[in-house]
Amino acid sequence: METRCDLSRAVLALVLPALAVAAPASADRDLDPAIRGIAVDGNPRNGVPESTAVDFFGVMFRSAREDRAFAEFDITSQQIPVISATFNSGVMDWDSTGSASMELWGYVGDNAITLADWSSGDELIESFQNGLDQPFSIDVTDYVNDRVAAGDPIVGFALRQTSSQLGRKYWAPQTLSIVPEPSATALGLAALTTLLVLRRLRPARFARRDR
Ligand SMILES: [Ca+2]
Ligand SMILES: [Ca+2]
């Protein structure tokens, strides 16, 4: 019995560090946008945008002008499904008070802010009311996993304001926080390591089976 306990302890002592190396705990990744910007419909406001600008992120909904904001993230390093993904936006420094109705749409990005981004949202992720001086975070897990599954390298998020609040806000930081799943490769390596250690510690038993 004592020998078996010693053997178990020896196995754990060898296997646990191997597991720790092969299957590291999930960690958050905060991605900055690969590119972000706005498209402007205002000359005249007729549902057709006339211009774009990069390095801004803000929305506007006035009788004579609407701005929509876009942030596109490079997820080429994210080849496996995520446990969670959250789109975060900082305070947008509005020139009005109160709250506004907004929508966050997901779309397939192309690492460029173009007029085509105006209507490129292919999935409404969330409609929400937000205080104009409040940051917000929105769960985008399902949409990011759809993009990962499709092999799309860039995931885009479009923010639209849908109520007639005077808005004007730029410069707010955006991030995409990702918690990746442990990779199947890492888990497979851990399993293989365990098998090899057991085989090494119990050669006689394996040898009999091999005959
Ligand atoms: Ca227009
Ligand atoms: Ca784009």
Q: What are phi and psi of 47, to 5 degrees?
A: 85, 0
Residue % of the chain over a pLDDT of 70: 67
By CB atoms closer than 10 A (0-12, 13-18, 19+), residue 24 is: exposed
Distance 104 CA to ligand 1 centre (A): 21
Query: Which of 11-20, 71-80, 177-186 is predicted least confidently?
Result: 11-20
CATH class, domain 29-184, is: mainly beta
pLDDT tens sequence across 85-102: 999 998 766 666 778 889
Query: Taking 80 as the threshold, does the pLDDT of residue 210 lie above it?
Result: no
Find the 93 Cα to ligand 2 centroid distance in Å: 24
Residue in the structure block whose two tokens are 């192309």:
110
- Which residues have beta carbons under 5 A from ligand 1 (an ion)? 41, 46, 48
In this prediction, residue 6 carries a pLDDT of: 59
Q: What is the pTM of this model?
A: 0.75
Domain spans, the chain: 29-184
Q: What is the pLDDT of residues 127-176, one digit of tens each?
A: 998 877 788 999 999 999 999 999 999 999 999 988 876 655 555 678 99
Spatial CA neighbour of 138 closest among 149, 129, 147: 129
